[in-house]
Amino acid sequence: MSLIRKTAAELGTMVASGEVTAVEVAEAHLDRMAEVEPKVNAFLHVDRETTLEQARAVDARLRAGEKLGPLAGVPIAHKDIFTTRDMPTTAASKILKGWRPPYDATVTARLRAAGLVILGKTNLDEFAMGSSTENSAYGTTRNPWDLSRVPGGSSGGSSAAVAAYEAPLSTGTDTGGSIRQPASVTGIVGMKPTYGGSSRYGLIAFASSLDTPGPFARNVLDAALLHEAFSGHDPMDSTSIDAPVPSVVEAARTPDVAGMRIGVVKEFSGEGYQPGVLARYHEAVQLLESLGAKVVEVSCPSFLTALPAYYLIAPSECSSNLARFDAMRYGLRVGDDGTRSAEEVMALTRAAGFGPEVKRRIMLGTYALSSGYYDAYYGQAQKVRTVISREFEAAFHQVDVLVSPTTPTTAFPIGERADDPMAMYLADLCTIPSNLAGNAAMSVPVGLADEDGLPVGLQIMAPVLADDRCYRVGAAVEQALESRWGGPLLKEAPSL
Amino acid sequence: MTMLYDEALDRFEPVLGLETHVELGTKSKMFCGCKTTFGAPPNTQVCPTCLAFPGALPVANAAAIESTIRIGLALNCSIAEWCRFARKNYFYPDMPKNYQISQYDEPLCFDGYIDVEVNGEPVRIEIERVHLEEDTGKSTHVGGATGRIHGADYSIVDYNRAGIPLVEIVTKPIPGTDRLAPEVAKAYVTELREIMRSLGVSDVRMEEGSLRCDVNVSLMPRGASEWGTRTETKNVNSLRSVERAVRSEIERQAGVLAEGGKIVQETRHFHEDTGTTTSGRSKEEAQDYRYFPEPDLVPIAPDPAWVAKLKEALPELPLARRKRLQAEWALSDHDMQAMHNADAIDLVEATVAAGAPAADARKWWMGELARRANETGVPLSGLPITPVQIARVTELVASGALNDKLAREVLEGVLAGEGTPDEVVERRGLQIVNDEGELSAIIDQVLADNADAVEKVRSGKIAAAGALVGGVMRASKGKADAARARQLILEKLGVSE
């Protein structure tokens, strides 16, 4: 079987045993990228020579007997929002076009140290604001299942790259669903770790209290291996949790839900959900029951207020986080012709450098934080956030995990929601509560919707620092479904 | 027109308020590991965090938090059990993130006071809050007349200062100072500066900007109960300027009010050269800072037991120390105040600690050395002489090895860089003549040369011996012990006193 069809775990074993070299693995993926990128457009930056140089260095380290992790020599694609010292980092924004960071993000650095080879930087909605990658300043990424549809977002380049076999693994960030929703609509596994479980250092901030780095993979075990490789306390990020990483790899190898209590979120079902999505979701719940789990319905009424609260908190933080893009020290500079003041150059640069969705959110956030409106908007949203956290806590007293559809619909056609922000925002309806509460949540593929033949994802939500439960339940679902399907769901995808 | 100060105070009562920024002397910046050395070449003490590069994050400096709590405790404040940093959002090229990490409605320390003395009378200044924030970079506006951004040809920014920890200390409004408003303001800043020094948290140099003061002033007609509109004066960069800025603002506001005008709530700039203030940005067009809790940092929750330990370990505060030293040294209020004004207390204390009697230590520092400092325009502590050296000189005088005149010459030698007091004595040959034979020979010569005076003394006019002693001192080039010379002269002439 071709190297690009292998799992990350298999590739790691093959490289470690000397069966293949990291260079051979990288070359196979670079070739695949050359072949399908014109159709998929998952990458913003590819640099064959830099990648091969990294692969050669990994091979040399292994030959020298250096003990590297289980993913040494495995290629990875990074969402272009993590800084990389040998590749540009743009956040898919014109304002950072060509910017070369002088430092690695903690996630990048840890994976580099573990011997993973960077294939390139993947596309996203500008500054991670969106659910389709249509907000990228550098063109939309296409869904490998149907090139006329979106790959989800904001980490759509990362989901498409993995689904199109361009990369066995990729990183993403999840602020309101930006890992889980793209994983769901491309038929792969995506995990949002507990907030603070993975470092934000070197992750270009969208909404600091919500942004969470996480893994994409084609199966649950690969996701766990990647999760483990970059997670854990980072003194460079004050919000990073100083606690051991939950034993996610062990959990991914324990596909057993017998006796587990699984809560079905009552509010995330019914009207507004695509019938094919609901059908696969209900089957997945029945499957879990058949595997020995105890399924109960749990009501979390405040989850329906999560979306509006999110659209106050996230824009508020972003309006402040993005203030640093002012043409003074790096990035785009517009109108500096010697006659204009610094203030004018800042304004012209920001007007030219940010796209419409980014501007919309900066304006929303600026307004929500304004004197006289703070209590009614930002302050109120923070109260809602507290209520949602409490509702999660109460639910997790009754059950071990909560489940819901990851997103109400399958991948939507490119352009369908581009001019309708509210419709776009609804894609994150089910994923946002876990961002507000900071708990762990995963999306695993559970089949194809009957009406369009596109992938459907199941969301598994676990308490803070109980990320392992997502992997355990995800692995059980995956094992049962793959034995039913005779292989991974992705084998149903077009070959491109 | 401005009104003369005395007339202004006849008609109006001032209310003061002071906001003081103190740069902490921590080794590293507030939210990153960059150094804080003053005067380093521009933009050499910077990193991704303090330059606000994308993705860089702040980590709070524990030493700065500890210093702030110690400041709060020294100012008799309550310490928050739980508080957060907040972002203060506004765009300015010298602020890399275009927001400042500060504190808003949850300051680390609050509700304190300090006592100061004005003309020997105690005045209590209440403290509203003490909070921790980061400094901005430093802009230099090149070209244009004012040195301010408007009208400048271009501006350059040094980010070395960006992110240096800054403590803001805000007083509650200070009514009731009456005519002493300028003196109270100055005494407060002076006392604050000394408290910072005694805590060792900052070098508090106003000229280097490590202590900066904004002065708020409002006036109300005498007998009124409602306070007037206040102005905030910035750019007040010395203790003397604090006093002058208050006085000038009182005179200006009184003039405006007397002509039926209204005080505009605004920021004003103090000008060192003219001693007056001019209008800056009006508060009406003031920014909405859109404060919100800083999501990149976790809340501060100081352990009460640790705070209690910090409180116990506070050093003796300056006012208490002055009271104690005044008693120990048996000085009058006036003498103590003079020493305080001359910044001589630390020097005298160190000299006493090195073994000198307090009176002698004070005599030298406040006399000869104060004169020299004044002549050369340096602070006392800037003279190239140490308390230990002064103590040695007093020791040499006490042992009879030097007299006052010689001692002054020794000090001159030390100040001229000729070495330690002992080295100067040696090199300049300044020892008192102790050799009785040598002294006796000099006296014999003087007696032989001054027959008239000798006759007068012999005839009972003992006062005439003074001239003979003077002759001995001249002949010995001042190195003779005058008292012993007098004794020997009288002996030789067979006269007793």
B373-399 residue pLDDT tens = 988 888 888 899 999 999 999 998 888
Question: Would you tell me which residues 130-169 of chain B have a C-beta closer than 8 angstroms to some C-beta of chain A?
Answer: 149, 155, 157
Distance linking the first and last C-alpha atoms of chain A = 17
Q: Is residue B471 very low, low, confident or very high in pLDDT (cuts 50, 70, 90)?
A: confident
Q: Which pairs from A50-54 meet CB under 8 Å and 24+ separation?
A: A50/A86, A50/A87, A50/A118, A51/A26, A51/A75, A51/A117, A51/A118, A51/A119, A51/A120, A52/A23, A52/A26, A52/A27, A54/A26, A54/A86, A54/A112, A54/A117, A54/A118
> Does B54 contact A324 at a Cβ distance shorter than 8 Å?
yes
Cβ neighbors of A160 (< 8 A, separation 6 or more) are A40, A42, A122, A123, A141, A142, A143, A144, A151, A166, A182, A186
Average pLDDT for residues B296-321, to the nearest whole number? Answer: 96
Q: Are B480 and B432 in contact (CB under 8 A)?
A: yes
Nearest Cα to Cα of residue A164 among A10, A31, A80, A40: A40
> Does B60 contact A319 at a Cβ distance shorter than 8 Å?
no
> Does A239 contact B98 at a Cβ distance shorter than 8 Å?
no
Least CB–CB distance from B290: residue in A204, A325, A370: A370
Neighbour-count burial for B71-99, b at 16+ CB within 10 Å, e otherwise: bbbbbbbebbeebbbbbbbebbbbbbbbb
Phi-psi region of B214 (alpha: psi -120 to 50; beta: other; left: phi over 0): beta
Nearest Cα to Cα of residue B371 among B342, B347, B404: B342
Determine the Cα–Cα distance for residues A28 and A10; give it in Å rounded to an integer. 15
Chain B within 8 Å of A324 (Cβ-Cβ)? yes
Cβ neighbors of A57 (< 8 A, separation 6 or more) are none
Nearest 10 degrees: CA dihedral of A195, A200, A206, A212?
-30
What local confidence, expressed as pLDDT, does residue A210 receive?
A: 98
Distance from CA of A47 to the nearest CA of B (A): 22
What local confidence, expressed as pLDDT, does residue B76 receive?
A: 98
Output B423 or A94, whichever has higher pLDDT. Answer: A94
Say whether pLDDT at B493 is over 90.
no
Chain A within 8 Å of B285 (Cβ-Cβ)? no
Q: In chain B, which residues have their Cβ closer than 8 Å to the Cβ of A203?
A: 55
Tokens of B289: 């800072």
What local confidence, expressed as pLDDT, does residue A209 receive?
A: 98
Determine the Cα–Cα distance for residues A426 and A407; give it in Å rounded to an integer. 8
Tokens of B102: 């500060």
Mutate to test the interface with A, among B30, B50, B57, B94 (most CBs of A within 10 A): B57
Determine the Cα–Cα distance for residues B4 and B306; give it in Å rounded to an integer. 52
Query: Of these residues, A79, A94, A121, A192, which one is catalytic?
Result: A79
Q: In chain A, which residues have their Cβ closer than 8 Å to the Cβ of B290?
A: 319-320, 366, 369-371, 374
A57-88 residue pLDDT tens = 999 999 999 999 999 999 999 999 999 999 99
Determine the Cα–Cα distance for residues B468 and B339; give it in Å rounded to an integer. 39
Chain B within 8 Å of A82 (Cβ-Cβ)? yes
The residue ranges of every structural domain in chain B are 5-310, 316-414, 436-493
Determine the Cα–Cα distance for residues B413 and B427; give it in Å rounded to an integer. 9
The three-state secondary structure class of B125 is strand
Determine the Cα–Cα distance for residues A422 and A445; give it in Å rounded to an integer. 26
Token pair 């005395």: residue: B6
pLDDT over 90, % of chain B: 64
3-state secondary structure B309-358: HHHHCCCCCHHHHHHHHHHHHCCCHHHHHHHHHCCCHHHHHHHHHCCCCH
By CB atoms closer than 10 A (0-12, 13-18, 19+), residue B63 is middle
Average pLDDT for residues A182-194, to the nearest whole number? Answer: 98
A131 is catalytic: no
> Does A319 contact B290 at a Cβ distance shorter than 8 Å?
yes
Nearest 10 degrees: CA dihedral of A130, A132, A138, A141?
160
Return the half-sphere exposure (C-beta side, CA atoms, 13 A cut-off) of residue A68: 29
Say whether pLDDT at B145 is over 80.
no
Question: Would you tell me which residues 75-94 of chain B have a C-beta closer than 8 angstroms to some C-beta of chain A?
Answer: 87, 89, 91, 93
> Does A326 contact B91 at a Cβ distance shorter than 8 Å?
yes
Determine the Cα–Cα distance for residues A28 and A367; give it in Å rounded to an integer. 50
Q: Is residue B121 very low, low, confident or very high in pLDDT (cuts 50, 70, 90)?
A: confident
Least confident of A335-339, A401-405, A435-439: A335-339
Cβ neighbors of A203 (< 8 A, separation 6 or more) are A81, A82, A83, A105, A107, A173, A211, A213, B55
Residue A472, CA distances (Å) to A224, A257, A291 in order: 10, 7, 12
Say whether pLDDT at B284 is over 60.
no
Give the sign of the dihedral formed by CA A286, CA A288, CA A291, CA A295.
negative
> Does B295 contact A200 at a Cβ distance shorter than 8 Å?
no
Mutate to test the interface with B, among A233, A312, A324 (most CBs of B within 10 A): A324
Q: Is residue B286 very low, low, confident or very high in pLDDT (cuts 50, 70, 90)?
A: low
What is the strand order of the sheet B266-271 is part of? B78-79, B109-118, B121-134, B165-171, B12-23, B211-221, B231-236, B266-271, B276-282
Token pair 């670079």: residue: A30
* Residue in B with minimal Cα distance to A330: B53
> Does A102 contact B51 at a Cβ distance shorter than 8 Å?
no
Say whether pLDDT at B173 is over 60.
yes
Distance from CA of B149 to the nearest CA of A (A): 9
Token pair 């027959």: residue: B451
Say whether pLDDT at B250 is over 70.
yes
Phi-psi region of B419 (alpha: psi -120 to 50; beta: other; left: phi over 0): left
Least CB–CB distance from B55: residue in A201, A325, A346: A201
Output B437 or A34, whichever has higher pLDDT. Answer: A34
Cβ neighbors of B78 (< 8 A, separation 6 or more) are B72, B109, B110, B111, B112
Token pair 């038929």: residue: A187
Token pair 């003279």: residue: B383
A267-276 residue pLDDT tens = 998 888 999 9
> Does B297 contact A320 at a Cβ distance shorter than 8 Å?
no
A219-262 residue pLDDT tens = 999 999 999 999 999 999 999 999 999 999 999 999 999 999 99
Distance from CA of A487 to the nearest CA of B (A): 39
Chain B within 8 Å of A317 (Cβ-Cβ)? yes
Asked, as a colleague might, if the bond just before A154 is cis with ω within 30 of 0, I would say yes
Say whether pLDDT at B99 is over 70.
yes
What local confidence, expressed as pLDDT, does residue B11 receive?
A: 95
Mutate to test the interface with A, among B105, B296, B298, B300 (most CBs of A within 10 A): B296
Query: Of these residues, A159, A178, A302, A316, which one is catalytic?
Result: A178
Q: In chain A, which residues have their Cβ closer than 8 Å to the Cβ of B93?
A: 326, 328, 342, 346
A325-348 residue pLDDT tens = 999 999 999 999 988 988 999 999
A17 is catalytic: no
Average pLDDT for residues A407-418, to the nearest whole number? Answer: 96
What local confidence, expressed as pLDDT, does residue B462 receive?
A: 82
Within a 10 A sphere around the Cβ of B449, how many other Cβ atoms? 12
Cβ neighbors of B463 (< 8 A, separation 6 or more) are none
Q: In chain A, which residues have their Cβ closer than 8 Å to the Cβ of B53?
A: 101-103, 329-330
Residue A456, CA distances (Å) to A65, A143, A449, B478 in order: 43, 13, 6, 107
Least confident of A139-143, A338-342, B407-411, B459-463: B459-463
Q: Are A335 and A382 in contact (CB under 8 A)?
A: no
Chain A within 8 Å of B182 (Cβ-Cβ)? no
pLDDT over 70, % of chain B: 97
Determine the Cα–Cα distance for residues B32 and A201; give it in Å rounded to an integer. 13
Q: Is residue A1 very low, low, confident or very high in pLDDT (cuts 50, 70, 90)?
A: low
Question: Would you tell me which residues 58-77 of chain A have a C-beta closer than 8 angstroms to some C-beta of chain B?
Answer: none
Q: Is residue B437 very low, low, confident or very high in pLDDT (cuts 50, 70, 90)?
A: confident
Distance from CA of B136 to the nearest CA of A (A): 14
Mutate to test the interface with B, among A238, A336, A350, A366 (most CBs of B within 10 A): A238
Average pLDDT for residues B436-449, to the nearest whole number? Answer: 85
Token pair 């910046």: residue: B29
Average pLDDT for residues A202-229, to the nearest whole number? Answer: 98
- What pTM was computed for the model? 0.89
Determine the Cα–Cα distance for residues B212 and B23; give it in Å rounded to an integer. 9
Query: Of these residues, A131, A136, A154, A231, which one is catalytic?
Result: A154
Nearest 10 degrees: CA dihedral of A175, A177, A181, A182?
10
Chain A within 8 Å of B413 (Cβ-Cβ)? no
Least CB–CB distance from A202: residue in B52, B55, B89: B55
A491 is catalytic: no
pLDDT over 70, % of chain A: 100
CATH code 2.60.120.380 for A3-266+397-492: no
Determine the Cα–Cα distance for residues A58 and A72; give it in Å rounded to an integer. 7
> Does B53 contact A238 at a Cβ distance shorter than 8 Å?
no
Say whether pLDDT at B358 is over 80.
yes
A271-296 residue pLDDT tens = 889 999 999 999 999 999 999 999 99
Give one DSSP letter per residue of A195-226, joined into a string: TTSB--TTBPPS-TTT-EEEEEESSHHHHHHH
A110-144 residue pLDDT tens = 999 999 999 999 999 999 999 999 999 999 999 99
Tokens of A77: 């694609």
Tokens of B157: 């920014």
Chain B within 8 Å of A203 (Cβ-Cβ)? yes
Give one DSSP letter per residue of B78-109, joined into a string: EE-SSB--EEEE---TTSTTSEEEE-SSS-SE
Average pLDDT for residues A482-486, to the nearest whole number? Answer: 96
Q: Is residue B405 very low, low, confident or very high in pLDDT (cuts 50, 70, 90)?
A: confident
Class of domain B436-493: mainly alpha
Least confident of A183-197, A437-451, A455-469, B420-434: B420-434
Cβ neighbors of B54 (< 8 A, separation 6 or more) are A83, A89, A91, A96, A99, A101, A204, A205, A324, A325, A330
Q: Is residue B154 very low, low, confident or very high in pLDDT (cuts 50, 70, 90)?
A: confident
* Residue in A with minimal Cα distance to B151: A341
Least CB–CB distance from B288: residue in A236, A320, A371: A371
Say whether pLDDT at B283 is over 60.
no
Q: Are B401 and B433 in contact (CB under 8 A)?
A: no
